[in-house]
């Protein structure tokens, strides 16, 4: 079976490479010529564990990339994996999706049967709209939301917790059979298939992300009270999680959620409620708690020093979470901006080289990492980063305990840590003379 994947961002590349590994003949289509060129020479434009190896294994064999829509003519299945960013009002912007649909219409023959699968995260009603746009064409539209976590997306692709497939009607067997063929690799592997209608599939995706975001905002709100009354949020999360109805995942308090999904999806879900004249009471609160969390943490830092002007901080972690280079909605970047705005100097570090590179490019720092209009330096070495600083701020949940804290204690100007992800061994740190400020502990 020949499959086309339109859009080679995070979702599209992994989908294309994954389907190639299943043995299909796959063509990835993207409007970005330089990206297509890089992918065809086996270079992965983004950092994702195991992805480049798989790309190299299949590229120019059963996997190719192109800017042309021609290959969709002889593809039985076409995956739509284009971005659906947030527009200025908080809605999902479907421009890229609709323009891809237009190009499909211009390219395929009306009589040729195709299954068009929407993998992009789209608001309820979008699959129906796409089918409407393709009226008169012999196509079925399928909703197949993705549940990949950045950083371990390749693992997630091959080990999904569920496959969601939404159809126009469950009476029509052909598209269901074709989708089962596409995901045949998971048959007998205990992967539940949820076969449902378009609207349910679309909402499963938003409800799942909003629920996880709500869990995070919930524990972050409790952390503020724990902080005030001298309780320990880590123990609270642990004990709560022992109840299997609650579960211990996504109950880590911190400086809030970031990334390309949670912030945008929560906001887009709020809009979908409002567009249907329903007040999204809980989900709005989830969003608000998240916006406030970083400000609350920054206040904590400010309260300690009084005035941040002229102080130097080591910010450990730049991306929105560990093992990724993705800076989108990164809490670390938000905090860097707040610290810089208050007149302080920031030395930033992340274990992922590409995250450091992206930060450097974003702030347009020059190659020698020197001051270039900002009081910001991005450094390749953690010990260089903490040297002579007035405080260390942890922004990403890496296990920084593995570092030599005795050495760090000797390098810093002032021994104080603001642990925005509650990752440090407090006893050990305090023994070395550090003052410790976490989130709710
Ligand atoms: C998220 C979902 O976890 C995936 O299931 C989903 O497929 C994906 O969005 C998507 O919609 O494409 P991702 O954005 O890669 O995946 O990141 P997560 O691992 O979920 O982390 C999101 C944020 O929550 C991070 O900033 C992380 O620091 C924060 N977080 C996570 C917490 O603050 N506390 C926690 O306990 C867990």
Nearest residue by C-alpha to atom 25 in ligand 1: 257
Kindly list the strands in the beta sheet with 2-6, ordered across the sheet, starting from the edge strand earlier in the chain: 63-66, 25-29, 2-6, 77-80, 114-118, 139-143, 163-167, 193-197
Q: Are residues 247 and 134 in the same domain?
A: no
Q: Are residues 124 and 27 in the same domain?
A: yes
Query: Is residue 370 predicted with pLDDT exceeding 60?
Result: no
* Ligand 1 cavity residues, CB under 6 Å: 121, 146-150, 209, 212, 216, 250-252, 254, 257-259, 261-262, 320-321, 397
If pLDDT is split at 50, 70 and 90, which confidence band does 368 have? low
- Tell me, yes or no, whether 251 lies in a domain: yes
Q: Are residues 90 and 132 in the same domain?
A: yes
Q: Are residues 56 and 160 in the same domain?
A: yes
Q: Are residues 263 and 349 in the same domain?
A: yes
308 CA from centroid of ligand 1 (Å): 31
Domain membership of residue 27 as a residue range: 2-191
Q: How far apart are CA 208 and CA 262, in angstroms?
A: 10
The mean pLDDT of 292-310, rounded to a whole number, is: 97
Q: Are residues 179 and 266 in the same domain?
A: no
Please, what is the average pLDDT of the chain? 95
pLDDT tens for 100-157 read 999 999 999 999 999 999 999 999 999 999 999 999 999 999 999 999 998 899 999 9
- Tell me, yes or no, whether 208 lies in a domain: no
pLDDT tens for 228-254 read 999 999 999 999 999 999 999 999 999
Is residue 411 classed exposed, middle or buried when 0-12, 13-18 and 19+ CB atoms within 10 A define those classes? Answer: middle
Nearest residue by C-alpha to atom 27 in ligand 1: 257
- Tell me, yes or no, whether 211 lies in a domain: no
* Candidate of 84, 148, 234 to mutate for ligand 1, largest count of ligand atoms within 8 Å of Cβ: 148
Q: Are residues 175 and 224 in the same domain?
A: no
Q: What pLDDT does residue 102 have? A: 97
- Tell me, yes or no, whether 210 lies in a domain: no
Q: Are residues 185 and 232 in the same domain?
A: no
State the CATH number of the domain containing residue 300: 3.40.50.720
E strand or H helix at 315, and its extent? strand 312-316
If pLDDT is split at 50, 70 and 90, which confidence band does 49 have? confident
The mean pLDDT of 365-386, rounded to a whole number, is: 78
Residues tagged active-site:
261
Q: Are residues 120 and 265 in the same domain?
A: no
Query: Is residue 421 predicted with pLDDT exceeding 90?
Result: yes
The mean pLDDT of 161-174, rounded to a whole number, is: 97
Q: Are residues 181 and 228 in the same domain?
A: no
Q: Are residues 82 and 186 in the same domain?
A: yes
Query: Is residue 298 predicted with pLDDT exceeding 70?
Result: yes
Q: What pLDDT does residue 440 have? A: 97
- Tell me, yes or no, whether 204 lies in a domain: no
Kindly list the strands in the beta sheet with 391-394, ordered across the sheet, starting from the edge strand earlier in the chain: 376-378, 345-349, 312-316, 391-394, 416-419, 435-437
Q: How far apart are CA 354 and CA 372, in angstroms?
A: 20
- Tell me, yes or no, whether 212 lies in a domain: no
- Tell me, yes or no, whether 206 lies in a domain: no
**Which atom of ligand 1 is the closest one to the Cα of 11?**
12
Is residue 85 classed exposed, middle or buried when 0-12, 13-18 and 19+ CB atoms within 10 A define those classes? Answer: middle
Number of domains in the chain: 2
- Tell me, yes or no, whether 197 lies in a domain: no
If pLDDT is split at 50, 70 and 90, which confidence band does 47 have? confident
Percent of the chain at pLDDT > 90 equals 92
Is residue 295 classed exposed, middle or buried when 0-12, 13-18 and 19+ CB atoms within 10 A define those classes? Answer: middle
Helical segments of 244-330, H only: 262-275, 281-305
The mean pLDDT of 165-177, rounded to a whole number, is: 97
Query: Is residue 89 predicted with pLDDT exceeding 90?
Result: no
Nearest residue by C-alpha to atom 30 in ligand 1: 257
């Amino acid at each position: 079976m020949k499959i086309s994947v339109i859009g080679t961002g995070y979702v599209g590349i992994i989908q294309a490479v994954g389907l190639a590994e299943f043995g299909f003949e796959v063509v990835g289509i993207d409007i970005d010529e330089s990206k297509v060129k890089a992918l065809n020479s086996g270079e992965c434009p983004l950092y994702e564990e195991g992805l480049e190896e798989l790309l190299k294994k299949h590229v120019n064999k059963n996997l190719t990339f192109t800017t042309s829509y021609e290959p969709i003519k002889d593809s039985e299945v076409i995956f739509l994996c284009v971005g659906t960013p947030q527009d200025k009002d908080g809605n999902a912007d479907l421009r890229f999706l609709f323009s891809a649909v237009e190009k499909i219409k211009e390219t395929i023959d009306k009589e040729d049967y195709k299954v068009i699968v929407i993998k992009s995260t789209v608001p309820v009603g979008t699959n129906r709209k796409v089918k409407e746009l393709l009226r008169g064409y012999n196509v079925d539209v399928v909703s197949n939301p993705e549940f990949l976590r950045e950083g371990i997306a390749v693992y997630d692709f091959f080990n999904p917790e569920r496959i969601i497939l939404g159809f126009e009607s469950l009476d029509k067997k052909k598209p269901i059979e074709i989708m089962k063929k596409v995901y045949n690799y998971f048959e007998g592997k205990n992967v539940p298939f949820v076969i449902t209608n378009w609207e349910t599939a679309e909402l499963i995706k938003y409800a799942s992300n909003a629920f996880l975001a709500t869990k995070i905002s919930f524990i972050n709100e409790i952390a503020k009270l724990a902080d005030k009354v001298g309780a320990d949020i880590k123990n609270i999360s642990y004990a709560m999680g022992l109840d299997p109805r609650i579960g211990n995942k996504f109950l880590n308090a911190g400086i809030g959620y970031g990334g390309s999904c949670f912030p945008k999806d929560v906001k887009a879900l709020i809009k979908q409620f409002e567009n249907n004249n329903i007040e999204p009471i809980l989900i709005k609160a989830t969003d608000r708690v998240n916006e406030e969390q970083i400000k609350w943490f920054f206040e904590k830092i400010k309260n300690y020093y009084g005035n941040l002007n002229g102080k130097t901080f080591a910010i450990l972690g730049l991306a929105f979470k560990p093992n990724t280079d993705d800076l989108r909605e990164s809490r670390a970047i938000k905090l860097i901006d707040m610290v810089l705005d208050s007149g302080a100097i920031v030395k930033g570090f992340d274990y992922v080289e590409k995250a450091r590179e992206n930060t450097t490019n974003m702030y347009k720092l020059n190659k020698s990492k020197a001051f270039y209009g900002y009081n910001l330096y991005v450094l390749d070495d953690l010990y260089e980063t903490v040297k002579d600083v007035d405080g260390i701020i942890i922004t990403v949940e890496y296990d920084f305990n593995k570092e030599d804290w005795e050495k760090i204690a000797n390098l810093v100007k002032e021994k104080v840590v603001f642990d925005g992800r509650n990752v440090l061994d407090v006893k050990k740190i305090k023994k070395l003379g550090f003052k410790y400020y976490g989130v709710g502990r």
